[in-house]
Amino acid sequence: MSILTPEQHHQFVEEGYVLVSGLIADDISQRGAAALWRRLNANPDDPTTWGNVPLASGHSDPDIIACFTPEAMQAASELAGEAVNPVTGTLTLNIFPQEGAWSHHGPHIDHALPRDGFKVFPRPMRVASITYLNDVPRHGAGTVVWPGSFRKIEALAQSDPQKYELMATLNNDLGKIDLGEPVELLGKRGDVLFYHYLTAHSGSRNATQTPRLALVHKW
Ligand SMILES: O=C(O)CCC(=O)C(=O)O
């Protein structure tokens, strides 16, 4: 039986992303968040402990890894089109409150660092996920996505497969196409965003007082 609804599958196919609300049970995401705070050596209730937390860090704490629940793994597998590998460690991206106005950082695609040399075809990953470990209000560092952008980016790649052999080259040329209007995704702890490997997306500034904690995992 499918864990995702036909509407959720449809959204992923049409728009290149889907935010699955409440995919992670509340007690599991709560324990995951508490474990991540411990691992970051910071206290959610004491902003004086937030200063030295790095933006990105890898973790394999059992309570964090437990957030990759059977339901989340099944959803990832459904969208990947094949069973995804079990998770033993994950990257976390934690965006603490920042001074100044909210903005996103501009669109990018993943796996596009020149030194990595990832190719566009065949796809270098099956599906990407971002699991939110706190509620993400407006301007609270929600992920920004460009709906349907994966089709336009794929068309650009196919327009000159030699030129666009590498993800890095394709990423550099995103400015050449009209990606349309972006959407700032808002959510709750336990929601999981899945997106297609060619979906343009961006992190965004955190203009609230609440840190945004998330697990970022790509299969
Ligand atoms: O932190 C976010 O919401 C976006 C993360 C991102 O852009 C990425 O993982 O490539």
What atom in ligand 1 is closest to the CA of residue 201? 7
For residue 91, tell me if it sits in a domain: yes
Q: What is the extent of the structural domain holding 170?
A: 6-218
Domain count, the chain: 1
What atom in ligand 1 is closest to the CA of residue 142? 3
Share above pLDDT 90 across residues of the chain, in percent, rounded to a whole number: 99
For residue 207, tell me if it sits in a domain: yes
pLDDT for residue 70: 98
Alpha-carbon Rg for the chain in angstroms: 17
For residue 81, tell me if it sits in a domain: yes
For residue 1, tell me if it sits in a domain: no
Would you tell me the crossing angle of helices 70-80 and 6-15 to the nearest 10 degrees? 50
The predicted-structure confidence for 14-46, as pLDDT tens digits, reads as follows 999 999 999 999 999 999 999 999 999 999 999
* Sole residue written with tokens 């297609």: 196
The domain that holds 25 is classified in CATH as 2.60.120.620
pLDDT for residue 129: 98
Measured in angstroms, how far is the CA atom of residue 169 from the centroid of ligand 1? 19
- φ, ψ of residue 186 to 5 degrees: the values are -110, 150
Residue 176's pLDDT band (cuts 50, 70, 90): very high
